[in-house]
Structure 1
Amino acid sequence: MATCHRHNPTNLAAVVLDNHRSSTSLCSSFSRSSFRRKLIHSLRCGGGCSDKPKHKPLPDDDDDSRSDSTKKNGPGSEKLSELLRLSEDDEDEVKKKTAALDELKNVVKGLQCDDVLWGAKQVRRLTKEDPVARTTLALLGAIPTLVGMLDSRGNDLDFQISALYALLNLGIANPENKAAIVKAGAVHKMLNLIESSDQLLDRSVAEAIVANFLGLSALDVNKPIIGSSGAIPFLVKMLKDGDSSSGSQAKQDTLRALYNLSISPSNISPLLETDVVQFFVSSLGDMEVSERILLILSNVVSTLEGRKAVSSIPNVFPILIDALSWNDSPGCQEIASYILMVMAHKSYVDRQAMIEAGVVSALLELTLIGSNLAQKRASRLLECLRVDKGKQVSENCVGGSGGTLSAPLCGASPSFADPHLQECPDEDDMMSEEKKAVKHLVQQSLQNNMRRIVKRANLPQDFVPSDHLKSLTSSSTSKSLPF
């Protein structure tokens, strides 16, 4: 007999409630562990991984991952942005260079075609301050075309001036272009332009030619070529017949071009064939051009024929000696002393002419108040002149008797001296004027030195008595000078 089990309603409700509680607890446990696992997985992947590739993260999760990624990759992003900006700048720079190159190509194309005058003006404009354009245009073949323009349009002044100044700008600070311009025959074409002119050469064209000679002569290899081509007579003519204003640009350019050419010894003879040396000596005294003229003369006296030409000019030594007293122009003093020093060391006749012109007193003054370089040169020249003067006194004391007595024996006592030697003039009498000048200069130098010492010591200016200085300098002689 089967046993019939009756369910108590109260017990059934309790079972259902227990099952619901266990199910709720199991679901809660599963969801927590799953969330923890997903969170750990996300942290290991850096927030960018997911079990399901197509899963879209929640808005909050997306914001957090973006902020973490930005913090982590911030420096790298800045570097990447900087590289991108640099690449953009490089692209802009390349575009600019490409555009500039295309412009230069168009200019050269204009030079080689019908629009030649426009091309020359563009070359002049582009090469005025751009060294890269000078090199590029020369490589593109602009120089031969511009040189050819110098003799292709007759008396078209605008055509000639544009070509001349275009060549001038191409050679600025560019030795390669200067050599290429001369090699292309520009010097001879410029001279042909001068000679072929039926009337007086236009002043603007002549000044443009002078400016080109100045620029081209700065290169050493061009100096002999320009000097032997006949450019020197043209420059001398421009110097003498040009603007009377000593400070004019054309006159200064001409003097500088002649100076550049005089550096080469091979150009001294063409200079001497003109009367420019005489013109230079007569122009000394004009302070705007005197220093440049003295520089040219210093190159001229470097050769034997140059020294002969300079010494043959009347009153050349008094004029040069006068330049030693130009205290407001130390450069002129230094160059003038150099010219006299070179000529004195090479020629006994020139030394005698300098002594007769009164160079000793001027040199003594220069050794005291001149610049350091002028003092050294004056001392060397005085040493040379003193040796000659000692020889001259010795010969005068001998009186032609053939003896070898020295100058100090002129002052010997009458009982031991030769009768002829007693008639020899005293050296002190011969040098009385010079000794007076020396004493005056030494006294002036001592006074200046004492004033400087007193000033350094912050003492009263009347601290040094003048009578005491006179007593100190009254016994001074030329032996105290820095010969």
Structure 2
Amino acid sequence: MSDSTASSSSPPIWLYSYIKLRFFNRIQRFLRSKNSNRKRNTTASDPHHFDTLSLRPTKVMVKASRNESNDHKDDGLGLQRAVKKLHFGSWEEKELAAEEIGTLAKDDVKLRKLVGGLGVIPVLVSMVSSEVVDHRRVAVFALVQLANGTYTNKALIVEAGIFSKLPKDINILDEPTRRQFAELLMLLSSLANTPFPLPSSDIVPFLVRILESDSSNVETKQSCLGALHNLSAMLDNAGDLVSNGVVDTLLMLSSDKEMSEKALATLGNLVVTLMGKKAMENSPLVPESLIEILTWDEKSKCQELSSYILMILAHQSSVQREKMNKSGIVPVLLEVALLGSSLAQKRALKLLQWFKDERQTKMGPHSGPQTARFAFGSPVNPHAAEQGKKMMKNLVKQSLHKNMEMITQRASASGDSSKIKALIISTSSKSLPY
């Protein structure tokens, strides 16, 4: 940037003086609070700490306090220079200042709050849309540090228009910068649970593009999933999430054991909405992908979330229960009911009860061919009816033993199956949920 351009865009003299005076006042208050806290902590810890021989304050304490005071002064002076350069310096100076502010704010919450009130956030947000890679990188890094743990700074970042600065093409971002963007959006998405308005329609497409990109690593996708989960906690955001294809993206990621838990948790928030449930019912990945997750014995949380989603889909929907039945859900549910966590067992038993009731309804006296009508309670042939009951019991027992054998084969790889075998021998079909 030329000197003429820089001078033409500079603020008026009175505004410069006002900002400078305000800045120095805040820095002085910050340093005074640091020193007073240090003195208070030193006095409270041991107000009569004297050397046992000379009865004078120890040299170690005096030296440590001086070093600490010098460190605070150095941080204050460094912050002072960085903020001044960020407001009034060239682009090269702004880049160095943004990186220094991010580094200083990384480990000091009070400093984050102080910097947020000095007007640096709008400048950093404007740098996010810069075509220079390094400018954009250091600006996002500084914003991540300022947003961490401070509600006010998050609100200021959103008000400064950060979402309009998100790049449309994520391929122009290298992986470290992409990860920083994902982390920033995850931090800002926590505002979804507050009265502060958050435009999910601007955030969701960017997150989906990163999740669907093969070049994004697991850590970056984890941050994106965290942001989507925060947004899905507000039911008003379900429309934007579903319309941007989030359901299919989450269903695909749920098959990845590294990302399955967060993806399923977000789907669990969406399935209770009308649009989310409809999208899952129409997805070709349902119910097969969710049933497959039920077989992950080492991922109990994933089993619980998957069974919860299947319960919502199966509730009062004979079409969905039929699809699940054809996909072989019953043997898997039997296994979860025996080997899963307590919550997964309860949900599996509930699903099994629905399938049992539905089968009994289909096998009721009204179903099947009926050639004649008889009085209530008078069977056609008592002997034939008794034979039919015995045959049905044998079929049920055979099916039960077959399912149990499959369960014990899976369980034998992970541990002792003697308890399950004992349960198979001693339990009748009437005592099981299905």
Query: Hey, what's the Cα distance between the residues in 2 that align with 1:99 and 1:209?
Result: 30
Q: Is the 8 A contact 2:200 2:231 kept in 1?
A: no
Q: Is the 8 A contact 1:262 1:268 kept in 2?
A: yes
Equivalent residue number for residue 349 of structure 2:
379
Contact 1:217/1:223 (8 A) holds in 2: no
- 1:436 and 2:401 equivalent? yes
Higher relative contact order (CA 8 A, sep 6+): 2
Task: Name the SS for the 2:85 alignment partner.
Answer: helix
Which letter maps to 2:432? Answer: L
Query: 1:104-158 CA distances to partner (integer Å, 9 max, x unpaired)?
Result: 222212211113222111112112222232122113332222123234xx41111
Aligned to 1:219: 191
Give the direction of change, closer, same or farther, for the CA distance of 1:273–1:395 in structure 2 (3 Å limit): farther
Structure 1 residues 118 and 444: CA distance shift in structure 2, 3 A: closer
Quick check: 1:149 aligned with 2:124?
A: no
Query: Is 2:158 the counterpart of 1:182?
Result: yes
- Determine if contact 1:227/1:261 at 8 Å carries over to the other structure: no
1:227-248 deviations in Å (ceiling 9; x for gaps): 53422122212222341x7x53
Structure 1 unaligned residues grouped into runs of 5+: 1-73, 454-465
CA–CA separation in structure 2 for the residues paired with 1:444 and 1:239: 37
Q: 1:157-190, CA deviations, whole angstroms, 9 ceiling, x for partnerless residues?
A: 11111111110111122233222211222222x2
1:260-299 matches, within 5 Å, as 260-299=230-269
Letter in 1 for 2:151: P
Q: Following the alignment from structure 2 to structure 1, what is the Cα–Cα distance between the partners of residues 364 and 85?
A: 80
Match of 2:208 among 228, 236, 259: 236
Q: Identity of counterpart residues, as a percentage?
A: 30
- The answer to which of 81-90 and 341-350 deviates more is 81-90
CA contact (8 A) 2:270 2:276 kept: yes
Tell me if structure 1 keeps the 8 A contact 2:85–2:97: yes
Within the candidate set 414, 436, 446, 2:380 is matched to 414
Distance 1:306 1:383 in 2: 25
- The one-letter amino acid of 2:223's match is D
Q: Paired residue for 1:203, among 149, 157, 174?
A: 174
Distance 1:306 1:77, change over 3 A: closer
Q: 1:106 aligns with which of 63, 66, 81?
A: 81
The one-letter code matched in structure 2 to 1:111 is L
Displacement of 1:218 in angstroms is 2.8
Please, what TM-score do these two structures have when normalized by structure 2?
Answer: 0.71
Cα distance in structure 2, aligned partners of 1:425 and 1:314: 40
Alpha-carbon distance change, 315 to 84 in structure 1, aligned in 2, over 3 angstroms: closer
8 Å Cα contact 2:208/2:249 also seen in 1: no
Q: For residue 311 of structure 2, what is the aligned residue in structure 1? A: 341
Provide closer, same or farther for how the CA distance between residues 185 and 80 of structure 1 changes in structure 2, counting only shifts above 3 A.
farther
Work out the CA distance in 2 between the residues paired with 1:172 and 1:120. Answer: 16
Deviation at 1:206, TM superposition (A): 4.0
Native 8 Å contact 1:341 1:377 kept in 2:
yes
Secondary structure class of the residue paired with 1:302: coil
Q: What is the distance in 1 between the residues matched to 2:50 and 2:95?
A: 56
Could you tell which deviates more after superposition, 177-186 or 91-100?
91-100
Residue type matched to 2:251 in 1?
A: V
Q: How many residues align?
A: 378
- Is it true that 1:327 corresponds to 2:303 in the alignment? no
C-alpha distance in structure 2 between counterparts of 1:426 and 1:175, whole Å:
68
Change (3 A) 1:225 1:374: same
Q: Check whether the contact 1:439–1:477 (CA below 8 A) recurs between aligned residues.
A: no
Give the letter aligned to residue 212 of structure 2.
K
CA distance in 2, matches of 1:475, 1:93: 73
Specify the SS of the correspondent of 2:315: helix
**Contact 1:364–1:378 under 8 Å retained in 2:** yes
Q: CA deviation at 1:273?
A: 1.5
Alpha-carbon RMSD across the aligned residues, in angstroms, is: 4.3
Deviations 1:196-250 (A, max 9, x none): x7x952335444322321221133347995553422122212222341x7x5332
Deviation at 1:281, TM superposition (A): 3.0
Alignment partner, residue 28 of structure 2: none
Distance in 2 of aligned mates of 1:168 and 1:444: 50
Say whether the 8 Å CA contact 1:397–1:424 is kept in structure 2. Answer: no
1:159 lines up with 2:130 in the alignment:
no
- Tell me the CA shift for residue 283 of structure 1: 4.6
- Mapped contact 1:367–1:375 kept (Cα < 8 A): yes
Instruction: Quote the residue 1:116 is aligned against.
Output: 94
Cross-structure match for 2:8: none
Q: What amino acid does structure 1 have at the position aligned with 2:205?
A: P
